[in-house]
Amino acid sequence: MAAIKFLYFDLGNVLVTFDHRRAARQMAEAAGVSEQAVWQLVFESDLLARVERGETSDREFYEIFCQATGTRADYEELQLAGSAIFDLNLSIIPLVGHLAAANIPLGILSNTSASHWDYVASGRYGIVPGPFEQIVLSYQTGSIKPEPVIYRVAAEQCGRSPEEIFFVDDRRDNVDGALKAGFDAVQFTSVDALARELRSRGLRCNF
């Protein structure tokens, strides 16, 4: 096994948690429609995947939403309603801090939209983007995990060969995609389990 030279973290349900049901509830309130209508439109179709792949912009999403629901909610209010769904995973802050203090290069590799990233990276969560020197986001690459392209972009962006990259994600399919791309990768279950995986690969910090 090659020595690990770069660590990529998934964003959702690793660095921050999120709740799509909260998004549906808040967007429904902003637009004056039922939560179920929002859920079906956004989360039971391919609309969210198109936005996260960058095929559909946030403004185009808004127009699709308005047309489908027969409403015209305030654009900024609707964007906030769909984005204010994240909470910092407090348990991972010490590990990230110690890895950064040990000068281990860190990055974020995430399926997300422009509005969600802008919300999370606006400064309300101190560790994002914080010590993460490389940010690889699906809407910017035109590819979503577990598609091969986004892992190739991640390797190119950090300047390391795939076998030198470690990746952690909460979803098994995204981990499998990373493994197929040549990364070393594990599924996130807990901070302690992740720390054990890193130590087993020779990575040392004060955590």
The pTM assigned to this predicted structure is: 0.96
- The count of structural domains within the chain is 2
Q: Tell me, yes or no, whether 92 and 194 share the same domain.
A: yes
User: pLDDT tens digits for the chain (207 residues)?
Assistant: 679 999 999 999 999 999 999 999 999 999 999 999 999 999 999 999 999 999 999 999 999 999 999 999 999 999 999 999 999 999 999 999 999 999 999 999 999 999 999 999 999 998 999 999 999 999 999 999 999 999 999 999 999 999 999 999 999 999 999 999 999 999 999 999 999 999 999 999 999
Residue at 167 is within a domain: yes
Q: Tell me, yes or no, whether 157 and 178 share the same domain.
A: yes
**pLDDT of the residue at 2:** 75
**pLDDT of the residue at 1:** 63
Q: Tell me, yes or no, whether 103 and 150 share the same domain.
A: yes
Domain boundary (41, 62, 83) is at 83
**pLDDT of the residue at 70:** 97
- Provide the domain limits for residue 55: 20-83
Contact 107, 132 (CB under 8 A): yes
Burial status of residue 170 (CB atoms within 10 A of its CB: 0-12, 13-18, 19 or more): middle
Q: Tell me, yes or no, whether 105 and 51 share the same domain.
A: no
Distance (Å, rounded) from C-alpha 122 to C-alpha 129? Answer: 9
Distance (Å, rounded) from C-alpha 63 to C-alpha 80? Answer: 16
What distance lies between CA 65 and its chain's CA centroid? 23
